[in-house]
Amino acid sequence: MDQVNNNPVDLHTALAAFDDLWSPRIAAKVNDYDVRIAKVAGEFAWHRHDDTDEFFLVLDGELRIALRDNDSERTVTLPTGSVFVVPRGTEHKPSSIEGASILLFEPTGTPNTGDHHEQLPEHITTTTGRPLA
């Protein structure tokens, strides 16, 4: 699973190698961006990224992303195979009732909890991505 050596990364195998929720693993790098994969279930924390958009691709399951912008709030629902981009500066809160596997595309070094967030629940840890096992 070593993208640095130009070996392919099987995402299903990579996802099967860990159980941590909301703890992205870096599957590959593209220029100055990380391709991260994560398992998610339950709710994340409200947060925002001031300087970057956040790309979500649902690999399996269903992801919901609540969005706050200009005194309004809405939720988008992403079934398997769907993509969505949260614009920079937009407060958002991902969640998944049944659990999901997702792929994220973000600049290297971007914290998963954003530049600003509400108090983090006990099950959320700030990370800029962990290496694959």
* pLDDT per residue as tens digits for the range 29-58: 999 999 999 999 999 999 999 999 999 999
- Tokens 């050596």 correspond to 5
Q: Alpha-carbon distance 80 to 87, whole Å?
A: 21
Q: Is the pLDDT of residue 3 over 60?
A: no
Contact 52, 110 (CB under 8 A): yes
Domains of the chain (ranges, CATH numbers): 3-131 (2.60.120.10)
- C-alpha–C-alpha distance, residues 107 and 33, integer Å: 4
Which pTM value belongs to this model? Answer: 0.92
pLDDT in tens, 78-111: 999 999 999 999 999 999 999 999 999 999 999 9
What is the token pair recorded at 116? 């600003």
